[in-house]
Each structure stands twice: as structure tokens, then as C-alpha cells.
Amino acid sequence: MIAIIDYGVGNLASVNKALSFIGFESVITSDYSEILAADKIVLPGVGAFADAMESLEKFNMIPVINEATAEGTPLLGICLGMQLLFDYSTEGGEKVKGLGLLKGGVTQFPLDMGLKVPHMGWNSLDIKKNDGIFKGIKENSYVYFVHSYCLSAQEASDVAATCSYGIKFDAAVSRDNIMGTQFHPEKSGDVGLNILRNFASL
């Protein structure tokens, strides 16, 4: 069973539907014991970083995420959910503390690039790791992004894929049982479904 954490934000139904489509059972839940009993956990997220952290605290999800990941349960953060795995974000003009499961920070795309922000639509990946969630995924595969803030991981070894949109940014991460994608695999066609299938099959 895959637990999709419900903390009041995120497009939960689309992830649930995508997992069901590829043959994996998942449940949308904010129940502490149900999350801890899950084989794998998905942390989705849309909206503002500070609001999401506040919601995680309100739903008492921070202790359960810490406990589950410490026990080795695979965790996949999606979009804002990936950003939350890191130390901080400067969204809103102030440095807001994240979960700190991985080292690094999230900052806004430079607004002087002459490109539209948010970065929205299909873009290709420069894959750094060909195992785990990227097993069998071809270099330069296209995936779907919607974000105004981008990640810079502190440890290069945590970066599973990068992407270029005016600047190069970290588009996916992987360290042991903690993984994340800035893009939306559930909206990224066959490539995204294969990434979800790889995660669900770990």
C-alpha cells in the first residue's frame, strides 16, 4: 500500500488515479498509523512553501514523515512536496524552514531572464542517475513542470536529474529512501507513469 499524505494541499486525486492506472493500490490519508504502516509514501504539494509547512504542522505530519523515513520507508516528494524535503525556501521574501531531510534551498527563478515565470509546460531532463525512479528512463525525456521556485541541492550526489530554463536547476533528487521530482510525474505521460512505476516497485 502506498500512502499519499493528505495535509490539506496538493492535487492528491491525480496521483492516486495515476498509481491506480499502473496497477498499484494507494490511499489518500492523514492517519498517523496508516502512513507508518504503508510500504511507501508520497508527499504531494501545490501552492506556497510556508503555507504547506504550516499545514504539515497543523495536521501533525512532520513527526510521522520523520519517523517513517528514519525507518527506511521510501518517500517521494512531488513538485512543492520535493521542495519541502529541503532546508528552506525564500518564497515570500523570507527564509522559511523546510523538513531538512536533504540539504539545500529553494529560490525564485531570476526575473531578468526574459522568460515567463512560472516555468510551466514540458521540458527535457538531464538524467544524472539511471537507477531507482529513473531506471529505464531515456536521457532528454520530457516531463511536465509548473513552478516559480527552483531547487539548488547542497550535495551533488543527491541530484538525480537537472533541467534548464534560463538557468540549470535540480529537477529530481534521490538519496537512499528519500526521492523527489520538481515536475509532476502524474501529468508527464508515459515517462511520468514509468517513474511512478519505478517508485512503486522499489
**Rounded to 5°, angle at Cα 186 from 170 and 11:** 95
Per annotation, catalytic residue among 91, 147, 150, 186: 186
Per annotation, catalytic residue among 79, 91, 147, 150: 79
DSSP state letters, the chain: -EEEE-SS-S-HHHHHHHHHHTT--EEEE--HHHHHH-SEEEE---S-HHHHHHHHHHTTHHHHHHHHHHTT--EEEETHHHHTTSSEE-TTSS-EE---SS-EEEEEPPTTSSS-SSEEEEEE-EES--SGGGTTPPTT-EEEEEESEEEEES-GGGEEEEEEESEEEEEEEEETTEEEESS-GGGSHHHHHHHHHHHHT-
Active-site residue flag, 147: no
Active-site residue flag, 155: no
Active-site residue flag, 186: yes
Active site residue ranges: 79, 184, 186
